[in-house]
Chain A
């Protein structure tokens, strides 16, 4: 493939963003959305073409530097593209979802004063995300990483007059800083150990570093690879919202729904997953790191799903489900099933974007109310939304045949087969996660679309299906949510499509094992799935939710009362927020106050700054006496200086 195509893919959204951002006033609303949609559409079509080319074998892997930014000593910092199957897949997913969201936004934001700004931001996001996935070196990866973080920050706080939005974007920013710090340390460690930031050069040197250790604290020897892998993964934890750095994601729902779909479900939050897959050669060197990854993922998958059950805000439920699904992907990474993680990433991008956009459609109809306890019975009013949401939910819960079923089942199976330390715990977590997923997903559906209509009359009168710009993306996303699993499971997981990008040690390769022992085509995989435990667990969740929310809603209230402590624990999200708020944020604020009051204003300002200024003033006043204006004083100084110089330096 030629470099020009790649440059067009990457830069066209940037151009769109610039035009909409700087000239938005001039070209108006329609001009803004036309130009951004066109630019993203160009990227999308070309990305899919690139993907197809790679699948057909027309194109080969592209790895080349485009521009040399600077060269210092032996290190050259470049902007370059590495486009292989993994990248092409990500590019297609990102641009496709982005395109859908662009179209959807026309309907969702149509009377928002920041219309042009919003389009500019999401196009800018698309550019940043493409730079991230297309990078061939750590520096550019970091650039994209920070750029998507920046746009995420801007978009969470898009309604900057809303207190909660400002709080949420600050929170997202700060939490991500923690993760990025780890990431930066990881990159620095790579730089230090390998002397280069180029992926292929780093990977080529890996075997020499297998047994290398470093000691950060004297006496404690750490495997270099473990250190690098965990440091990089801390970055992924921030971006992909893994516990305990997940706290920003639910709050990010304060932003407009389209970006919740695009950034906080489908693309940006999966950057961490993508990054770990991209770094699979590094992670494969350290079993310790992989165990760590897996356990973090398992914890997130299970416990975050639990919180979803008690949430009443429609977007928050979807947000917690996103956390849980990200946990699944992370587990897959931890058991070396990188391709399964990427597969789930892809299917999840479609059905989760669908769910979010569907939720957004509901929110439009409800006049921007998000509380599910005020909804119900909406299926009469908005049929397309209802159907597509059902499709999305079935995909999410892993109903056999839907896309989510394939990816999730593979992950569970892979975890089961893995013999990594702690994999049994992870297996239990992901297994029962299925039950929980089904429970909260169907709860959402029933509360929203079925049952009694609990909204007020005014809202009821205005209830209607959303405009076509909203429903079209829903339909377009529903199609891959159903079908993409069928179509791609074989090539992606077992056909070696990702083998040029992902490196798995033979003894860790659980996906291959599944392929050899259990997989005989997608159809039989579905039939096999009908006899497996996950399916029954999902069915159980479905049945329970149906019983409670369709028949006896009082059970939910009774359960709330009976299990009060557990309910409170879940409502408080296990206290992560309170802990951060009280001890980490509060502690830092009081430390800051202490430093400010005592060290800054007393010591630095009082003693060093003002004190030194006073001292300098005094000294200069004393010396000023010499500058008397008399020639003989000046001449005397000169003579004395000569004598001193001779005296000191010559004699």
Chain B
């Protein structure tokens, strides 16, 4: 028993549970927080925990990508947006009736899942066959191999989906402002000295005091 407590497996499992709870807690917080800045920050925390879980599975590449892309790029952008939008935080007035219903439904779901999966899954947890790669195993290579052979079609499809997302986002948000005066360089270049740049106005010679009046 003691031997088990000091073994690598034990620490791996302990770490798994620790990060899992942090992940779940953070995810709960994302939903329940009233202040969107806090929510975003908790989301970052949950990403970190997820990355840690991947590390435990020796999927270092994925873990790092998650941190870099989501935390480093996406979430920072997200925070910018939230801060720029100036969302007013509503004071917390206790649980609304919807929350009660929601909690009740969630509880029901939980009970059902416990009944179904509880006793089946626990003994099936992977205790002995945790992932252990040999030294020098390339995580990147494995992901790449999978993506470009086995899953090349889904991979390409995902890229199409991203394209659609971009198109959709631009379509729905890009607006031409009608009151915006902008310079058109291409028409500036085409201006001809004789016709466009200079207008020769023929005027009659002044006649005494007869000034003004529309011609």
Contact = CB atoms under 8 A, between A and B. Distances in A.
B116 A643 contact: no
Interface stretch (A170-178, A326-334, A632-640): A632-640
A651 B105 contact: no
Contacts of B98: 632
B105 A647 contact: no
B105 A646 contact: no
A651 B116 contact: yes
B157 interface: no
A650 interface: yes
B112 A651 contact: yes
Interface string A614-651: 00000000000000000010001001101100110011
B112 A643 contact: yes
Interface in B90-115: 98, 101-102, 105, 108-109, 112, 115
Contacts of A636: 101-102, 105
A651 B109 contact: no
B78 to A, nearest CB: 22
B106 to A, nearest CB: 8
A651 B115 contact: yes
Nearest to A632: B98
B101 A647 contact: no
A639 B103 CA distance: 12
Contacts of B109: 639, 642-643
B116 A646 contact: yes
A639 B106 CA distance: 9
Contacts, number: 19
A4 to B, nearest CB: 64
Contacts of A640: 105
Contacts of B112: 643, 646-647, 651
A301 B51 CA distance: 108
B163 to A, nearest CB: 28
Contacts of B102: 636
A640 B102 CA distance: 10
Contacts of B105: 636, 639-640, 643
B108 A650 contact: no
Contacts of B115: 651
A20 to B, nearest CB: 68
A639 B102 CA distance: 9
A105 to B, nearest CB: 78
Interface residues of B, number: 9
Contacts of B108: 643
A650 B101 CA distance: 23
A116 to B, nearest CB: 69
Question: Is chain A's binding surface mostly helix, strand, loop or mixed?
Answer: helix
Question: Is chain B's binding surface mostly helix, strand, loop or mixed?
Answer: helix
Contacts of B116: 646, 650-651
B112 to A, nearest CB: 5
A651 B117 CA distance: 11
Nearest to B108: A643
Interface in A160-180: none
B100 to A, nearest CB: 12
Contacts of A647: 112
A633 to B, nearest CB: 10
A650 B105 CA distance: 17
Interface string B103-133: 0010011001001100000000000000000
A322 B93 CA distance: 102
B105 to A, nearest CB: 5
B123 to A, nearest CB: 20
A632 B100 CA distance: 13
A625 to B, nearest CB: 15
A641 to B, nearest CB: 11
Contacts of A651: 112, 115-116
B53 to A, nearest CB: 27
Nearest to A650: B116
A540 to B, nearest CB: 105
Contacts of A650: 116
B119 to A, nearest CB: 13
A36 B77 CA distance: 92
A364 to B, nearest CB: 88
A645 to B, nearest CB: 10
A647 B116 CA distance: 10
Contacts of B101: 636
Interface in A78-115: none
Nearest to A633: B98
A640 B112 CA distance: 12
A650 B116 CA distance: 8
A643 B112 CA distance: 8
A637 to B, nearest CB: 11
A650 B108 CA distance: 14
A548 B108 CA distance: 108
B54 to A, nearest CB: 29
Nearest to A640: B105
B18 to A, nearest CB: 30
A360 B108 CA distance: 94
Contacts of A632: 98
A647 B112 CA distance: 7
Nearest to B115: A651
A482 B101 CA distance: 104
A166 B102 CA distance: 75
A646 B109 CA distance: 9
A562 B98 CA distance: 104
A640 B108 CA distance: 9
Contacts of A639: 105, 109
A568 B152 CA distance: 103
Interface string B139-163: 0000000000000000000000000
A632 B116 CA distance: 27
A643 B105 CA distance: 8
B82 to A, nearest CB: 21
A643 B104 CA distance: 11
A618 B108 CA distance: 32
Nearest to A646: B112
A642 to B, nearest CB: 8
B31 to A, nearest CB: 13
Nearest to A630: B98
B182 to A, nearest CB: 40
Nearest to A651: B115
A643 B108 CA distance: 7
A640 B101 CA distance: 11
B62 to A, nearest CB: 30
A651 to B, nearest CB: 6
Nearest to B109: A643
A640 B106 CA distance: 10
B186 to A, nearest CB: 47
A476 B108 CA distance: 99
A193 to B, nearest CB: 60
A642 B108 CA distance: 11
A651 B105 CA distance: 17
A491 B61 CA distance: 109
A288 to B, nearest CB: 74
A634 to B, nearest CB: 13
Contacts of A642: 109
A650 B112 CA distance: 10
A643 B101 CA distance: 14
Interface of A: 632, 636, 639-640, 642-643, 646-647, 650-651
Given A636-B101, A646-B112, A646-B116, 7 more contacts: A636-B102, A640-B105, A642-B109, A643-B112, A650-B116, A651-B115, A651-B116
19 contacts: A632-B98, A636-B101, A636-B102, A636-B105, A639-B105, A639-B109, A640-B105, A642-B109, A643-B105, A643-B108, A643-B109, A643-B112, A646-B112, A646-B116, A647-B112, A650-B116, A651-B112, A651-B115, A651-B116
Shortest 5 CB-CB contacts between residues of A and residues of B: A639-B105, A643-B108, A646-B112, A643-B109, A651-B115
